[in-house]
């Protein structure tokens, strides 16, 4: 998969994401589930998945199929390379998903199995996973909240969180709001309906400032308008939290709400901690640091790509060297083995691998390069996190901290929330 992707995408498969914008899609994930009432064996499920890939994507598509039996029903995961062997680019959009479901239905019928997703009778049937959730009384929203809470402590960005959710089978839609659909769920759910701690802004705050901490607030410095503005706003927001005049967003979702567990207070305090620690005196100073980080990130990204290219070249030579030495000691070779030996010999000689000792040295160099790539990745991840934090501080200052109506907006937001609660109570009577 890697070689095909790199050939047509003109990018390294393991290349870090660009600092701004989205990286290219490397693979597309599909899940096929079969109700246990169908008595589908793992072998049959695997055949159906293979037939689906051929019918939907063609003979030159590359896919990894994993058939799981860890639930009461059999299901298959299909990981499709975003490029075919001939260079065709596959896309995952609403139309392509609809076409895929129709082809799944057709393949299932051909094997005498009831379609996993029945478009012909959509309003009257549900798939097995949805039925199982209803039977157990599991809330879709609660399931999504638990998945987010489980993953959020191990990611460095919102994109990474959404990617991990997709790897678990959740579907993601990005628009004005982020919407998520769990495996088997009929409709998408906007994260903002999961609770105040799950809006896009809240999720970003929970991720960015997880490791920062709020630190201590220094005495007011008249030379820094940035610090002065933050200290004043933090105090005002704390007062609103104490008086219950702002939306009670929690920093730690499992703990009781209080002024010390208010997400807005925490975010502003964490930003002030960064401002103090990194000696940021003004927005102009902050913009300069952002520009330097952007240049440093791109430099590190290019270096990693160069290391990855060199590593892949070494691995290829190492594999051919192992093949060469294994074939060279055989007394009799088939015509195919003779051809392999000739090809491997050229690669080995061009790589300067003449003895087993040379191969050991190449393996050591490859291992060292692996360590260098890992170290660079850690460094570039730290660089990206700092960049994201700095950009968030800049945007927060311009949108909120420096605006005279920020506190009024927080109060108005809570007033509207209370009105909505009253309306919902009237509807439920």
Quickly tell me which residue has 């590593």 as its tokens: 311
pLDDT score recorded for residue 72:
63
Cβ proximity of 78 and 63 under 8 Å: yes
Q: Parallel, antiparallel, or unpaired: how do β-strands 178-181 and 171-174 relate?
A: antiparallel
Quickly tell me which residue has 């998903």 as its tokens: 97
Q: What 3-state class would DSSP assign to 81?
A: strand
Q: Which two tokens stand for residue 279?
A: 């000696």
Report field, pTM of the whole predicted structure over 0.85: no
Cβ proximity of 107 and 48 under 8 Å: yes
Q: Which residues pair with 172 in a beta bridge?
A: 180
For each of the chain's 429 residues, which pLDDT tens digit applies? 777 777 767 777 777 777 766 667 888 888 888 777 777 888 988 999 999 999 888 888 899 999 887 766 788 888 899 888 888 888 777 778 778 888 888 888 888 887 654 333 333 334 444 445 544 545 788 899 999 999 988 888 888 899 899 888 899 988 889 999 998 888 899 998 888 889 998 898 888 887 665 554 444 454 678 999 999 999 999 999 999 999 999 988 888 999 999 999 999 999 999 999 999 989 999 999 999 999 999 999 899 989 988 888 888 888 888 888 888 888 888 888 888 888 888 888 888 888 888 888 888 999 999 999 999 988 998 898 899 999 999 999 999 999 999 999 999 999 999 998 888 888 776
The Cα–Cα gap between 264 and 210 comes to 13
The Cα–Cα gap between 382 and 78 comes to 33
The Cα–Cα gap between 101 and 114 comes to 13
Contacting residues for 329 by C-beta, under 8 A, at least 6 apart:
none
Q: Which residues pair with 81 in a beta bridge?
A: 27
The Cα–Cα gap between 397 and 403 comes to 8
Q: How many CB atoms lie within 10 A of CB 110?
A: 11
CA-nearest of 157, 211, 156, 228 to 397 is: 228
pLDDT score recorded for residue 22:
65
pLDDT score recorded for residue 89:
85
The region that residue 230 occupies, defined by phi over 0 for left and psi between -120 and 50 for alpha, beta otherwise, is alpha
pLDDT score recorded for residue 148:
93
The region that residue 115 occupies, defined by phi over 0 for left and psi between -120 and 50 for alpha, beta otherwise, is beta
The Cα–Cα gap between 251 and 208 comes to 12
């Amino acid at each position: 998969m890697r070689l095909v992707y790199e050939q047509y995408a003109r990018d390294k498969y393991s290349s870090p994401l660009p600092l701004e914008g989205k990286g290219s899609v490397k693979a597309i994930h599909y899940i096929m589930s079969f109700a246990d009432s169908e008595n589908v064996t793992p072998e049959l499920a695997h055949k159906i998945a293979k037939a689906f890939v051929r019918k939907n994507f063609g003979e030159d598509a590359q896919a990894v199929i994993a058939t799981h039996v860890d639930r009461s029903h059999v299901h298959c995961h299909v990981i499709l390379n975003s490029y075919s062997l001939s260079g065709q680019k596959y896309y995952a959009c609403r139309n392509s998903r609809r076409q895929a479901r129709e082809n799944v239905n057709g393949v299932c019928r051909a094997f005498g199995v009831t379609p996993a997703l029945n478009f012909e009778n959509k309003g009257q049937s549900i798939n097995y996973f949805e039925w199982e959730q209803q039977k157990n009384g599991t809330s879709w929203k609660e399931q999504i909240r638990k998945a987010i809470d489980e993953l959020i402590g191990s990611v460095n960005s919102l994109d990474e969180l959404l990617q991990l959710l997709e790897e678990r089978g959740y579907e993601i839609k990005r628009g004005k709001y982020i919407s998520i659909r769990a495996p088997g769920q009929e409709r998408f759910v906007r994260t903002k309906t999961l609770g105040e701690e799950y809006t896009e802004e809240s999720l970003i705050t929970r991720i960015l400032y997880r490791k920062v901490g709020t630190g201590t607030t220094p005495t007011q410095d008249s030379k820094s308008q940035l610090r002065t503005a933050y200290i004043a706003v933090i105090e005002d927001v704390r007062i609103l939290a104490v008086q219950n005049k702002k939306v009670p967003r929690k920093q730690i979702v499992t703990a009781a709400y209080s002024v010390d567990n208010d997400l807005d207070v925490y975010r502003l305090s964490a930003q002030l901690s960064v401002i103090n620690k990194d000696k940021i005196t003004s927005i102009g100073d902050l913009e300069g640091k952002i520009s330097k980080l952007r240049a440093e990130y791109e430099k590190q990204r290019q270096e990693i790509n160069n290391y990855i290219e060199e590593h892949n070249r070494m691995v290829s030579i190492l594999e051919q060297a192992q093949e060469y030495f294994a074939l060279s000691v055989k007394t009799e070779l088939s015509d195919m083995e003779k051809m392999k030996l000739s090809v491997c010999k050229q690669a080995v000689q061009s790589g300067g691998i003449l003895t087993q000792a040379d191969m050991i040295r190449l393996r050591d160099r490859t291992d060292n390069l692996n360590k260098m790539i890992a170290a660079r990745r850690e460094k570039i991840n730290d660089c990206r996190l700092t960049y994201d934090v700095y950009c968030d501080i800049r945007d927060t200052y311009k949108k909120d901290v420096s605006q005279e109506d920020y506190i009024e907006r927080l109060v108005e937001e809570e007033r509207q929330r209370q009105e909505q609660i009253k309306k919902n109570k009237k509807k439920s009577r």
